[in-house]
Chain A
C-alpha cells in the first residue's frame, strides 16, 4: 500500500539494514585543534568546545594540542589494561549469558575509554553515579572481579543479595552509587549529592553518566537546572553512542547541534569530546573535575562514541542498523587507538599486548570459576530466601514479619 507523505517530521538514520554504513555526515574536528580554556571560564564561553570535538590522539596516534593531559606511560598502560579487562570481561559474560549462566547482560564494547578514563581522571573518593554501561569504572577503581561476577549470577555472595538484575552494580566502598533500571534518575541525584559535599565543606565531587537517548527524560533537564542554579560541583556526562536500543540519536533531538550544546542553555560549561580517545576523555574529565573542585560549578561532557555491540543480550541490532556500521565508525576503537599510541611512544609492543590479552582472559575465566563456587542463579546457593524481606526498611514492621511467616521462612 502506498504511504502518504508524513504529516510531521520523523527523523531517520542515514543507513538501515541492507544499506551501506554511512557516516559521511559526521564532522570530526581534527585532534589538537580545540582550545583549552582556564577552568574558571564562564560556561557560555565554552560554546566552541560544545559544538566542536575535543581530540588529543591524531591519525598517527600521536598526542597533540592543548588538551594533551601529558600522562606518564605507566598511567597510559594502566588505562589500556583496564579497558582490555573491561572488554575481556564483557566478552566472557556474554558467552556465559548465552550458556544460560545468567539471565541478562549488557556489554560496553567500544565505550571502554569513557568509563576507564573518566574514573581515572577523578579522585577515587569522588562519588560516581553511572549508568549500566560504565562497568570499566569498577575495574579502574579496583573492584574485585569475582565480586562483580557474583552479583551478575545473583549467588550467595552477591553484595546485592540477588535483588537487582545483572550489571546493576553497587559498590559503596568504591564510591560507586547504585545503578537503577530507571533511566536518568541518578542524574539529578548526583547534583544533590554534590551539593551535600559542598555543604559539608569537603573537596569530594560527584559525577554521573547517561546515554544520549536518556537525555530526553525530564530528569536530564532537572539535573541541569539544579546544577546551574546551585553551582554544584558535579560532572554531568552524556555518552552519545548514537543508539538507544533501536532508536538513533536523532529521536532524542540529536539532530539539533550537539548534546553538549544543551548545557549552554543552562549556562554550564559544555564540552564535546572524542569518546574513543582515552586521552581526550581523561583531559576533559580532569578539567571538569578541577573546575568543580575549585567552586566554578558543573560541566556537561558529551562523549561522542559508537555502541559497537548489541544494546543488551535481549537485543539484535541487525533488525535496525546495517552490518559493519561499527567498523565504519570514523573514530575507530578506543583500545586500538591507545595501544597504537603507546607503541608509537616506544612504551608498548604487540607481544606484550597479546600476552596481556591472554593474561586478562585467563584472569576472567579463573574469576568466573571462583564466582561459581559461591553458587549460581539456577543451582544456588542464593542469598537466604528470608532476605527478600530485609532492607525494605531499617527494621521489619509487622507487615513484613507476617508476610515472611506466610512464605514459611
Chain B
C-alpha cells in the first residue's frame, strides 16, 4: 500500500498495465514527454520508450481514430483527451465507429480502446474546462462509461477499463485529482493523504465495471451520485444529520441498477445527482429507471440535484455547481414529501 492522490493512482494503473502487457500504449496531447497537463502519464515515456507513451497532434478525431485502428490490430491503446470539453471533435469517431465496430462487423473486429479524459467543474475552469459530458456517452450503445471518485477506485477501474473487451470512456473528475472535495468553495484544500481511499496498492488489482458501492449507509433516503458529487453528497448528509444512504455509481454504462433498487426499496426516497445541466442528463435516466423499478416503494417524488441548463459559468461558478446546500434541500424535500 502507498498513499496516492488520484493522479498518482491513475499513473500507477498505466504503469502496472504497461509493465504487464507490451500491447498497452498511451498517447494524447502533451501526454508523452511532458507527461500530460495533469501529469497522469508522467514518466511513462522515460520508462517505456517513445513509441509506447507519445505526444499526439491536436486533433481529437484523429486521436480516437488512431486508437481505433490500433485496437483493431490488437493493441490496447489508452488515449487521453486533454479536457472532456474537447472530446466533441472526436465524437463522430466515438459514436459512429468506436462504439459500433463490434456490432456492425458481427464481432469480426473489436476495438477495445480506452479514452481517458478529465471532466467536471469546481476549479474555475469556465465554459470549456468544466463540462461533465457523460450523458452524451451513456446514450451510445457499445461503449462503457466509467467515472471514479477517489484514488483507490481510479486505479482499480482504469485497470479494469484497459482489460475490458469493450471500449471504455473513462472520465476523471479533475477536481478530485489532488484531494477530496466536499463542495465548500472557500474551504482549505484537502489532501488524499489522510483519506482511506488514498491508500492504494502498488501492484495490479481491478474493480468490476458495472458495480456501484454504498459508501454511506442510511435508512431515510438514497442519494445516487458519481464523481465529485459522491463526496459532496456524503458531506451534505453529515452536515445536515440526515440518515442518507449514499451510492457511488462508479460505472454509468452499464449502471448497477441492483444496488440502487435495493437501497431505494429500503429507504423509499431517492435523490439523484449530476454536475451536468439538468435536461436529458444522466440523472434523468436514473430517475426514470428507479421509478420503473421501485414505484411501489417510493414515498416521494425523486429529486434531481444538477447543474443548471446553462453553459458552465466562470464568475458564478458556486451558484452553478451543485454543492452541499442543494443536496440538503433536495434530501429535505423528499423527506418532507
Task: Identify the A interface with B (CB < 8 A).
Answer: 127, 159-161, 163-164, 168, 170-172, 177-178, 180-182, 185-197, 199-200, 206, 218-219, 221-223, 225-226, 229, 390-394, 397-399
Contacts and interface: CB of A to CB of B under 8 A. Distances in A.
A134 B235 CA distance: 60
A72 B72 CA distance: 35
Contact of A192 (B57, B66, B92, B141): B66
B201 interface: no
A164 to B, nearest CB: 5
16 contacts: A163-B104, A168-B104, A172-B105, A177-B72, A178-B109, A180-B96, A180-B97, A182-B92, A189-B66, A192-B67, A192-B69, A192-B77, A195-B66, A195-B69, A195-B70, A226-B57
Contacts of B59: 218, 221-222, 225-226
A138 to B, nearest CB: 14
A327 B165 CA distance: 51
Nearest to B113: A192
A307 to B, nearest CB: 24
Interface residues of B, number: 42
Nearest to B55: A229
Contacts of B67: 192
A219 B97 CA distance: 13
A394 B165 contact: yes
B196 interface: no
B73 A197 contact: yes
B106 A399 contact: no
A230 to B, nearest CB: 8
B284 interface: no
A394 B68 CA distance: 16
Given A178-B108, A196-B69, A391-B107, A185 B62 contact: no
B32 to A, nearest CB: 12
B193 interface: no
Contacts of B165: 393-394
Contacts of A189: 65-66, 68-69, 72, 97
B103 interface: yes
Given A182-B97, A188-B66, A226-B57, A392 B141 contact: yes
Given A161-B106, A218-B61, A219-B62, 16 more contacts: A160-B105, A160-B106, A171-B108, A181-B96, A188-B66, A189-B69, A192-B65, A192-B69, A192-B72, A196-B73, A219-B65, A222-B65, A223-B62, A225-B59, A226-B65, A397-B210
A194 B102 contact: no
B103 A392 contact: yes
Contacts of A392: 102-103, 141-142
Nearest to A195: B70
Contacts of B107: 390-391
A308 B66 CA distance: 34
Nearest to B59: A222
B46 to A, nearest CB: 19
B25 interface: yes
Given A160-B106, A177-B109, A393-B144, A188 B166 contact: no
Interface string B61-101: 11001111110111101000000000001001100110001
B51 interface: yes
Contacts of B106: 159-161, 163, 170, 391
B74 A200 contact: yes
B75 A196 contact: yes
Contact of A394 (B51, B93, B102, B104): B102
Contacts of B73: 127, 192-193, 196-197, 200
A221 B61 CA distance: 10
Interface string B146-181: 000000000000000000111000000000000000
Interface string B248-283: 000000100110000000000000000000000000
Given A185-B65, A394-B165, A225 B57 contact: yes
A222 B258 CA distance: 43
B196 to A, nearest CB: 30
Nearest to A129: B69
Which of B72, B105, B210, B254 has the most chain A CB atoms closer than 10 A to its own CB?
Answer: B105
Nearest to A163: B104
B69 A185 contact: no
Given A182-B97, A219-B61, A397-B254, A188 B69 contact: yes
A219 B94 CA distance: 13
Contacts of A398: 254, 257-258
Closest 3 pairs (CB-CB, A-B): A192-B69, A222-B62, A188-B65
Contacts of B70: 192-193, 195-196, 199
